[in-house]
């Protein structure tokens, strides 16, 4: 993808990436890109600053490392699939079957749009209820998967329950229906033509990847978030090496612009917390930076008219009243709102538009000067906190 600072590569990790592979990826980011590494809201890794000359060489490294740049359909899996101590059963065998079924040379899937996604949620501590997808599979306690379409756990249309041995065939049928409709089709188009019943009301509390989570083998997964979703390859490599010193066997980028270090002791998890903090990562769920979403902004993005990441630290300090609430401030370089398609309590759209309780593309309620931007955000956040 072309951006303001060159080409961008996106890597989808459905399983932990070994420390060695992640360090090699960081080296490649510096050698062939500009050394900026991002984790998206959906948990994909992004490498920035590639050029038309360096991108093929970078792609060769990715192929050697065996990393996935995205299947069609895009396959999303819960962060601790198969290793979470809280899972009802192990879904990794199904994941292997889906990877085979979603091979890129399938002629019956060629009509699928690039954004069509299938989500596999194995349950456990870190679920994917807040992540939207075209097709959702959620493991239940009796070896059945809840199948739903077009949305997150709360909004998706319930189709029914599918047994383990029928999941792949059911998904193939749905994906063929989408492929036959052409690359612009999404699951919401299927829902419009179906008579579906209401989904059973099963509510799970929100989850956050930051923290320490017990695994089936007695070790822990330690979660940290990247500050505003980005870091440098050098910082990420230093952290990966620190993780290896604590026995971590792999790292996985996960939804929420976060990173899980998998396989340490509980004492090691605390040491990793200190290492992550030194690199500027977010180690506390009450950190105000968790309430600010900033796109790449100017000058990294050619469409942006706001230096979002330059402003983000000051905006985070102004957003402290939002800590403990579900509200966020969205800094969007333009009206596309790539970093946060949903509504936000406050959205600043470059260069000077303010949207309250809406999306980047919604009508602005006011404008703001660059000099008064942070003060106005603080005032709005205080207003939101007090009702």
Backbone angles phi, psi at 165, to 5 degrees: -80, 0
Same domain, 8 and 29: yes
Same domain, 92 and 181: yes
Give the pLDDT of residue 234: 98
Residues in CB range of 103: below 8 A, 6 or more apart:
none
Instruction: Identify whether 134 is part of a domain.
Output: yes
CA-nearest of 248, 187, 175 to 212 is 248
Helix H, strand E, coil C: the string for 166-209 is: HHHHHHHHHHHHHHHHCCCCCHHHHHHCCCCCCCCCCCCCCCCC
Residue 342 maps to which CATH number?
3.30.413.10
Tallying the residues shown for the chain, one arrives at 387
Same domain, 66 and 85: no
Same domain, 381 and 315: yes
Instruction: Identify whether 155 is part of a domain.
Output: yes
Structural domain ending residue among the three candidates 222, 253, 285: 285
Give the pLDDT of residue 195: 72
Measured N-to-C along each axis, helices 55-65 and 19-32 cross at an angle, to the nearest 10 degrees, of 170
Residue 230 maps to which CATH number?
3.90.480.10
Give the pLDDT of residue 123: 87
- Cα of first residue to Cα of last residue in the chain, in angstroms, is 41
Same domain, 260 and 317: no
Same domain, 181 and 84: yes
Same domain, 166 and 180: yes
* pLDDT digit string, tens, across residues 254-296: 999 999 999 999 999 999 999 999 999 999 999 999 999 999 9
Structural domain ending residue among the three candidates 192, 225, 240: 192
CA-nearest of 135, 185, 189, 132 to 160 is 135
Instruction: Identify whether 180 is part of a domain.
Output: yes
Same domain, 65 and 214: yes
Instruction: Identify whether 199 is part of a domain.
Output: no
Instruction: Quote the DSSP letter at residue 250.
Output: E
Flag whether the pTM goes above 0.75.
Answer: yes
Instruction: Identify whether 197 is part of a domain.
Output: no
Same domain, 238 and 338: no
What count of Cα atoms within 13 Å lies in the side-chain half-sphere of residue 228? 23
Mean pLDDT in runs of 10 for the chain (387 residues)?
Answer: 86 92 97 96 93 96 85 90 92 93 90 94 91 94 91 90 95 95 93 71 83 96 96 98 96 96 97 97 97 92 91 95 93 92 93 94 91 90 77
Sheet containing strand 211-214, edge to edge, reads 211-214, 220-225, 258-264, 250-254
Instruction: Identify whether 372 is part of a domain.
Output: yes
Same domain, 84 and 114: yes
Alpha helices by DSSP H, 199-335: 233-245, 266-278, 308-318
Same domain, 66 and 213: yes
Could you identify the residue written with the tokens 């998904």? Answer: 171
Give the pLDDT of residue 141: 81
CA-nearest of 276, 280, 278 to 260 is 276
Structural domain ending residue among the three candidates 192, 226, 249: 192
CA-nearest of 201, 191, 125 to 157 is 191
Residue 142: which domain range?
80-192
Query: What count of other Cβ atoms lies within 10 Å of the Cβ of residue 143?
Result: 12
Same domain, 64 and 89: no
Query: What count of other Cβ atoms lies within 10 Å of the Cβ of residue 365?
Result: 14
* pLDDT digit string, tens, across residues 36-59: 999 999 899 999 999 999 999 999
Rounded to whole angstroms, the Cα distance separating 239 from 100 reads: 33
The total of structural domains in the chain comes to: 3
Specify whether the CB–CB gap between 180 and 162 falls below 8 A.
Answer: no
Instruction: Identify whether 18 is part of a domain.
Output: yes
Instruction: Identify whether 363 is part of a domain.
Output: yes
CA dihedral 303, 306, 310, 316 (to 10 degrees): -120
């Amino acid at each position: 993808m072309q951006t303001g600072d060159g080409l961008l590569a996106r890597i989808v990790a459905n399983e932990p990436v070994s420390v060695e592979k992640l360090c090699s990826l960081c080296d490649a980011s510096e050698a062939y890109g500009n050394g900026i590494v991002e984790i998206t809201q959906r948990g994909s890794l992004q490498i920035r600053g590639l050029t038309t000359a360096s991108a093929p060489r970078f792609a060769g490294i990715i192929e050697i490392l065996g990393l996935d740049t995205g299947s069609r359909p895009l396959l999303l899996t819960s962060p601790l699939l198969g290793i979470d101590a809280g899972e009802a059963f192990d879904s990794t065998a199904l994941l292997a079957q889906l990877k085979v079924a979603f091979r890129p040379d399938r002629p019956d899937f060629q009509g699928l749009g690039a954004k069509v996604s299938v989500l596999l949620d194995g349950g456990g501590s870190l679920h994917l209820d807040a992540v939207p997808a075209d097709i959702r599979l959620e493991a239940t306690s009796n070896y059945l998967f809840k199948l739903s379409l077009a949305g997150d756990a709360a909004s998706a249309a319930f189709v029914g329950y599918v047994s383990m041995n029928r999941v792949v065939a059911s998904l193939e049928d749905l994906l063929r229906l989408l492929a036959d409709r052409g690359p612009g089709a999404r699951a919401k188009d299927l829902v419009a033509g179906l008579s579906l019943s209401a989904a059973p009301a099963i509510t799970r509390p929100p989850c956050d990847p930051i923290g320490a989570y017990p695994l089936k083998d007695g070790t822990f997964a330690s979660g940290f978030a990247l500050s505003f979703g980005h870091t440098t390859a050098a910082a990420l490599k230093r952290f990966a090496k620190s993780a290896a010193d604590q026995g971590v066997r792999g790292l996985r980028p996960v939804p929420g612009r976060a990173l899980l270090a998998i396989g340490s002791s509980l004492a090691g998890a605390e040491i990793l917390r200190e290492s992550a903090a030194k690199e500027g990562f977010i180690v506390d769920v009450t950190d105000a930076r968790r309430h600010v979403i900033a796109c790449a902004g100017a000058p990294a993005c050619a469409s942006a008219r706001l230096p979002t990441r330059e402003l983000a630290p000051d905006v985070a300090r102004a957003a402290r009243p939002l800590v403990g609430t579900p509200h966020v401030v969205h800094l969007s370089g333009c009206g596309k709102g790539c970093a946060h398609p949903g509504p936000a309590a406050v959205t600043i759209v470059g260069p000077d538009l303010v949207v309250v309780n809406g999306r980047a593309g919604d009508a602005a309620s006011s404008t703001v000067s660059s000099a008064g931007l942070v003060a106005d955000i603080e005032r709005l956040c205080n207003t939101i906190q007090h009702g």
